[in-house]
Amino acid sequence: ARAAQIIAQLKRTAGPGNYTIIEREDLDDDEAWNSDFDENREVKTLQFKIQLENVTDPPAWRRVDVPDNFTFSDFHDIIQIVFGWENEHLFQFSPKGYGSNPVTTEIYEDDDFTNADPLEANEVLLSEIFHSEKQKYTYIYDFGDDWKHLITLEKMLPEEISLPECIGGKGQ
């Protein structure tokens, strides 16, 4: 029932498409989804616009509200869901894409990061990086196909939410 609600919302906000809902229990790291949630902490909502770069006819973007105590690993999962990606490739977050630091990603023992010491995506909270409205960041998914997403922090809202929500979008 919840999956049907999410798909209906995506169709209303982002248009028709072939959407697949990844269930929380299907995600690689269910603990990361809960991301150090402290019920006594005042949670702020971060409203992001995520624009897929180099896709213009029509543009593909999503607007999402996310609790600021979610990790970058959580944020990766959210982007995967709202864009219909299948979570089959590596990813990274960084200020301006390749060559900019800090890089936030999943770190594996055999990774060879020669240009930077990356931050572990499941340890860094969004609130540790995003501090001001209009702040921009880059999410790259699938280093072979190089899907680059421009992330803009549009609003920092005082309302408390416990789960993310896709509130707008366009394109597939």
Task: Give the pLDDT of the chain (172 residues) as one tens digit per residue.
Answer: 555 555 555 555 455 555 555 544 444 444 444 444 444 445 499 999 999 999 888 899 999 999 999 999 999 999 999 999 888 889 999 999 998 999 999 887 666 655 568 899 999 999 999 999 999 999 999 888 889 999 999 999 999 998 999 999 998 7
pLDDT of res. 57? 87
Cα dihedral sign for 94, 109, 80, 35?
A: negative
| Residue bearing tokens 């028709």 | 16
Measure the CA–CA gap between 50 and 14, rounded to whole angstroms. 12
- Whole-prediction pTM: 0.73
Could you please report the per-residue DSSP string of 97-147? Answer: STT-S--EE---TT---SS--PEETTT-BHHHH--STT-EEEEEE-TTTTE
| Helices and strands: H and E segment counts in the chain | 4, 8
Measure the CA–CA gap between 20 and 32, rounded to whole angstroms. 21
